[in-house]
Amino acid sequence: MNTPAPIRKIFEGVATRPQMFRLFDRHSQRPDRWRSDAAPLYSGEWFELDEALYDYMLNILPPLWMCGPIFALREFLTGSTTSIFLALRIDGKPRYFHGYCDLSDPTSVETMRATIFERETQPVHAMSREELLEHIWSSTTNAYRGYAGDRFPPVMQGQRMVMLWSGTNGTLLKLLDDLTDDETAAKLPVHMRHLPDIAA
């Protein structure tokens, strides 16, 4: 039995149209793209967009299904995983989201909806370390991110890497998960560098 992928926010803020399309395929550089199932990578990922993009995606094709303000795309990403678009009223305002759900799990859409609502109604604006790293990966262009290849130790191969500026030593590649707090802050926009961690 497959372990469900964790539901996770992958981008802070409201995605623009170019950002949305990049987020749809943010794993495009993975080394085993044509040899492995992408569902575990994408399932559970979500981000916010605006009403115009929500309406645009609704009107591209007739949805697979629509239940109130939630609809699923007819074209599947892979297997039983497809895009879900949600309109939620949060703090009295309508907001719009995209997530990847595995429809073989009949609870996946409601779990996604509940998780987004809970995350976005927290009293303090905050990001976990995992969310910060996912935002860095999502917002870094392909030229400055990639995967550890054959010239790295076997234990590192296939893991995500980002390029850093080290000052006197110029640029270097480092595993995304190994970024220090200072390196993480340096890769974030100025307005996100001092967001508190989510309270336990």
Tell me the domain boundaries of the chain.
Answer: 8-120, 129-192
Place of tokens 């995606």: 57
Q: What pLDDT sits at residue 90? A: 93
Confidence (pTM): 0.84
**Helix ranges, the chain (H):** 17-24, 39-42, 51-60, 108-120, 129-139, 181-186
Q: What pLDDT sits at residue 199? A: 38
Q: What pLDDT sits at residue 113? A: 96
CA–CA dist 50, 125 (Å, integer): 19
CA–CA dist 122, 114 (Å, integer): 13
- Which pLDDT tens digits describe the chain residue by residue (200 residues)? 344 568 999 999 999 999 999 999 888 888 776 666 777 788 999 999 999 999 999 998 899 999 999 999 998 888 889 999 999 999 999 999 999 999 999 999 999 999 999 999 887 667 888 999 999 999 998 889 989 888 888 888 888 999 887 777 778 888 999 998 888 888 887 666 555 444 33
Q: What pLDDT sits at residue 111? A: 95
Contact status, residue 166 vs residue 172, Cβ threshold 8 Å: yes
Q: What pLDDT sits at residue 79? A: 83
Q: What pLDDT sits at residue 35? A: 66
Q: What pLDDT sits at residue 200? A: 30
Q: What pLDDT sits at residue 192? A: 63
